[in-house]
Amino acid sequence: MKKLPLLTLIVVFITTASFTLFQTKPWVVPADKAKAVNPVKSDAESIASAKTLWSQHCASCHGKTGLGDGTKAAQLETTPPDFSKATTQSQSDGSLFYKTSEGRNDMPSFKKKIPDQEDIWNLVNYMRTFKK
pLDDT digits (tens, 9 = 90+) for 73-106: 999 999 999 999 999 999 999 999 999 999 999 9
Q: What confidence score (pLDDT) does residue 14 get? A: 62
Per CATH, domain 29-130 is 1.10.10.10: no
pLDDT above 50 for 21: no
Specify the pTM: 0.81
The closest alpha carbon to 55, from 42, 41, 44, 66, belongs to 66
Give the relative orientation of helices 44-53 and 117-127 as an angle to the nearest 10 degrees: 100
Say whether 20 sits in a helix, a strand or coil.
Answer: helix
Is 13 a residue whose pLDDT tops 80? Answer: no
| pLDDT: which is higher, 8 or 131 | 131
Distance of CA 43 to the CA centre of its chain: 23
What are the pLDDT digits (tens) for 64-79?
Answer: 999 999 999 999 999 9
Rounded CA separation 30/56 (Å): 28
Q: Where are the alpha helices (DSSP H) in the chain?
A: 3-22, 31-34, 44-53, 59-62, 86-89, 93-102, 117-127
Spans of all domains in the chain:
29-130
Distance CA 66, CA 87 (A): 13
Tell me what percent of the residues of the chain surpass a pLDDT of 70: 82
CA-to-CA distance for 28 and 115, rounded, in angstroms?
23
Q: Looking at the predicted structure, is the pLDDT value of residue 43 above 50?
A: yes
With 60 as the cut, is the pLDDT of residue 10 above it? yes
